[in-house]
Amino acid sequence: MSYIHVQNLSKRFTVRKKREKGSLLREKEEVQALRGVSFDIGQGELIGYIGPNGAGKSTTVKILSGIMTPDGGEAVVGGQVPWRERKTYVRRIGVVFGQRMQLWWDVPILDSFSLLRDIYRVPEEAYQARLSELTEALSLKDILRTPLRQLSLGQRMRAELCGSLLHRPEILFLDEPTIGLDAVSKLALRDFLRWENREHRTTILLTTHDMEDISALCSRVMVLGHGSKLYDGELQDLLRRYDRTRTVDIRYGREGCVPAVPPSVVMEKNGDGFRLTYRPESYPTADLLSALQQAGPIREMTVQSQNIDHLIADMYREMDL
């Protein structure tokens, strides 16, 4: 039996719209946020949950964290139905909504933590132990007595994460935790998530638009689009499937050299050189190289595979999202 079992989950929203510009009348429109999503997650997995804006990722997180009731389908997490046994269930989970704040703006973050301790009724000893562990891992030591409003975004996000983990949740739902963070903060946050996942076997569902997050942390990803699950499996397989083109930038030693390539290779002028995009499966790299060499003396040349954001963009395009 899997730890998180989701079967055929669906959710509809009503959005009110103005009928047309200047009209005072409104009309209702139904938006199907989730149309029958199913998946299973084992305990201790760290899973990436991706998809374009509006795909239904946050809705899933809200349903699984017991805030929202679905219109149809079932979900059992650790033996409990989130929206039915809300009070006992929510003790076992931690949630981070990257775009919202749970800590108090005008008080030192330590005071917000004490409030969370009382909300979850964490015994003092356990709280102190956990707090010092998290303070160490998230390097919060120097800012514990600083009000939230005086912290940078990166510090704030680390503090928010600490707040969500004080009660030792078995499951952590992260909704865009790295939004707006600089490179150093992102790396620190990723290290921490990996550590928390390994050390405490915390099951983590990570929603993000940052593909670097996913490739650094998750071996398994689920792709959501238009409220349906489109892919579920290894990240590497997904990438291999869409990572089919290579780009070559080339400059020749003298003017007037133009390589002769078949129409399947897209060639465009790039400064005083060329950029060629090709698929190794339809035009072997060796053939391309000899074609390039025949055109003249090569001064410099680089070969690149696509970056992960482009891949995902291509994938979304192909899936018609």
Partner 1 sequence: MRACLSVFRLRLRLETQYRGAALGGIVCQIFFGLILSALYRALYFGKPQVRPLAHVITYVWLQQAFFRMLLSSDGDLMDKIRTGGIAYDLCRPLPLYGFYYARIMAQKLMGSLLRAVPMIIFAALLPGGWGMGAPASLPALLAAAAALVLGLSCVCAMENITMAFTMRTLDPRGIQAMLNLLMTILSGNLLPLTLFPDSWQRMITLLPYAQLLDAPIRLYTGEYALGQAPQVLLLQAGWTAALIAAGCWLWKRNQKRLVLQGG
Contacts with partner 1 by CB under 8 A lie at 13, 53, 58, 62, 65-68, 87-88, 90-91, 93, 95, 97, 99-102, 104-107, 111-112, 114-115, 118-121, 175-176
Q: What is the phi/psi pair of residue 16, to 5°?
A: -95, 135
CB nearer to partner 1: give 20 or 105. 105
Decide if 307 contacts 247 (C-beta within 8 A).
no
What long-range pairs does 315-321 form, CB within 8 A, spacing at least 24? Answer: 315/223, 315/238, 315/242, 316/52, 316/225, 318/242, 319/223, 319/225, 319/230, 321/51, 321/52, 321/55, 321/225, 321/226
Biggest alpha carbon distance in the chain? 78
Least spacing, CB of residue 169 vs partner 1, in Å: 11
84: left (phi over 0), alpha (psi -120 to 50) or beta: alpha
CB of 87 to partner 1, least distance (A): 5
**What does the alpha-carbon distance between residue 233 and residue 217 come to, in Å, rounded to a whole number?**
14
Which residue number, 66 or 259, has a Cβ lying nearer to partner 1? 66
Kindly tell me which of 67 and 267 has the beta carbon lying closer to partner 1.
67
* Residue 25: CB minimum distance to partner 1, A: 19
Among all chains, which residue has been given the structure tokens 């003092």? 124
Nearer to partner 1, 134 or 166 (CB): 166
Shortest separation between residue 176's beta carbon and partner 1, angstroms: 7
Helix and strand element counts for the chain (H, E):
10, 13
Minimal distance, residue 165 CB to partner 1, in Å? 14
Main-chain phi, psi angles of 289, to 5 degrees: -60, -45
Of 212, 208, 241, which is closest to residue 222 (Cα–Cα)? 208
Query: For residues 103 and 146, what is the distance between their CA atoms, to the nearest angstrom?
Result: 12
Nearer to partner 1, 53 or 269 (CB): 53
Q: How far apart are CB 313 and partner 1 at their closest, in Å? A: 19
CB of 59 to partner 1, least distance (A): 9
Least Å distance, CB 216 to partner 1, is: 22
CB count within 10 Å of CB 275 equals 16
- The smaller minimum CB distance to partner 1, of residues 114 and 245, is found at 114
Q: Name which of 81 and 258 has its Cβ closer to partner 1.
A: 81
Closer CB to partner 1, residue 175 or residue 196? 175
Question: 171-175 and 203-207: which strand pairing?
Answer: parallel
Q: Contact at 8 Å (CB) between 245 and 306?
A: yes
